[in-house]
Amino acid sequence: MGAHFTHEFPFDPAYGHTLDDLLHVGAPAAPEDFDAFWRAGYASALRVDPAPETGPLEEERDGVRIFAVSYTSVGGVRIGGRLVLPAEGPVEHGFVIGHGYGGRDAAGPDVPLPLPHSAALLPCVRGMGDRSLLPGIPGTADAHVLHGIGSRESYVIGACVADLWCAASALLALVPELDRRGGPGPGSGPVPGPGPRLGYLGESFGGGLGALALPWDARFAAGQLTVPTFGNHPLRLTLPCAGSGESVRAYHRAHPGVTDVLRYFDAATAATRVRVPVLVAAALFDPAVPPPGQFAVFNGLAGEGELRVLSAGHFEHPGTESEVRELALARREFFARQNV
C-alpha cells in the first residue's frame, strides 16, 4: 500500500499508488533533438566568464564560513547566492546545491555539508529570492514556472539550469584546488583525463533542475535529488497538486500546444541520459510534487541509481525528523563512495 496521512487536500497526495506501482512509472520518450538542444545550452554556459565576486563573511557556524557571492550566468545575468568554505583546513570536496521553489531562506543555508572539508556554492537561480530577484521574472513559484513557457528557447527553466552550470564554473574559479585530476571512485569506473569531480544536491525544484543539468556536465561526478519535480510531464498534467505543477496544468488547459515545449524540460527524460551515480529520495505521499513524477526520475536513470523511499514530501508528519536524519546519513555515505 502507499502512504496515507490525515490531510485537507481535495485530492489524494498518494494518488492511489503503491510503491510497486511507482517503481514502474516510466520516462517519456525524448524529442529527436533533445540531446542537441541541451548540449548547445551547456556549450553556451561554458562560454560564460562567471567573474565571481565574494562578499563579506556573513556567519560562521558548524565548522564553516558563509560568504555572500555573485557570478555571471547566460544572458549576462548576475546570480546571487552563498559560498560556503571550511573554517579550518584545506578544501577536499566541492558541491553545487540547488534550492526548492521558494528560493533560499534569508536566514542562511543548512549546514553541515554532505562531507567535511567541503566548499559549496548555493546559488539562487534567476528570479528567485533572496539573492536573484530580477525585474520581469516573477518571484513566486506559480508564476515563475510559466515565465517564457511559450518556447523552449525562452522558457526560464532552461536558463535556471544554465545558472547551475555557471555556478559550477564560479565555484571552480573561486576554489581552483577543486579542479584536480579525476580518479576512479568505488563503483563509478575510471574518470578519463584531468578535471573536477563535483557533487550536486537539489531538492524539489532544485532536484528537477539537477536532473536536467547532470547529463551534460562532466564536472559533476555524482548527484543527490530529493523529491525532484518536472518528472514525466504528460503524467503530471493529469494529476492535481498544490505545487507549481498546478499552474502548468491550468496553462495547458488553455494552451495544449505547450506539451511540445515541456518535452524538452522533462526531468525523467533527462534522467535516461544521466550516467553518473545518483541518490534519489522519492516520497510515497506528496501534495506539491506528485510521487509518480518523482519515481519516474529514479526509474529513468541510465547509470547507477540508489533509492531512498520517504513516507512523505512537502508535508510534515510524525516521522519527518527521523527521515531527514536518515537521509542526511545516506547522503554522506553516498558521496563518500563517489570520490567527489
pLDDT at 184 over 60: no
Instruction: Dump pLDDT digits (tens) for 47-61.
Output: 999 999 999 999 999
When pLDDT is cut at 50, 70 and 90, the band that residue 195 belongs to is: confident
Distances in Å between the Cα of 329 and the Cα atoms of 59, 100, 113, 252, 326 are 25, 21, 11, 40, 5
Instruction: Dump pLDDT digits (tens) for 265-324.
Output: 999 999 999 999 999 999 999 999 999 999 999 999 999 999 999 999 999 999 999 999
Q: What pLDDT is stored for residue 186 in this prediction? A: 35
Cα–Cα nearest to 76, from 48, 112, 102 = 48
Q: What pLDDT is stored for residue 181 in this prediction? A: 43
Higher pLDDT, 193 or 15: 15
Distances in Å between the Cα of 207 and the Cα atoms of 1, 164, 229, 300 are 26, 12, 6, 14
- Local structure of residue 120 (DSSP, 8 states): E
Q: What pLDDT is stored for residue 44 in this prediction? A: 98
Q: What pLDDT is stored for residue 188 in this prediction? A: 37
Q: How far is CA 306 from the centre of its chain?
A: 16
pLDDT at 236 over 80: yes
Contact in structure between 170 and 69 (CB atoms under 8 Å):
yes
Strand pairing class (220-226; 278-283)? parallel
Considering all CA atoms of the chain, what is the largest pairwise distance in Å, rounded to the nearest integer?
Answer: 56
Mean pLDDT of 7-36: 97
Q: Helices (DSSP H) in 255-305: which residue ranges?
A: 259-262, 267-271, 291-300
When pLDDT is cut at 50, 70 and 90, the band that residue 164 belongs to is: very high
The span from the CA of 40 to the CA of 256, in Å, is: 27
The span from the CA of 144 to the CA of 128, in Å, is: 9
Mean pLDDT of 242-271: 98
Q: What pLDDT is stored for residue 109 in this prediction? A: 80
Cα–Cα nearest to 101, from 267, 251, 314 = 314
Half-sphere exposure of 68 (CA within 13 A, CB side): 11
At position 215, the amino acid (one-letter code) is P
pLDDT at 7 over 60: yes
pLDDT at 139 over 50: yes
The span from the CA of 25 to the CA of 294, in Å, is: 9
* Residue 260 preceded by cis peptide, ω within 30: no
Give the mean pLDDT of the chain: 94
Mean pLDDT of 134-152: 97
The span from the CA of 104 to the CA of 130, in Å, is: 6
Q: What pLDDT is stored for residue 61 in this prediction? A: 94
Strand pairing class (118-123; 93-97)? parallel
Its pTM stands at 0.95
pLDDT at 214 over 50: yes
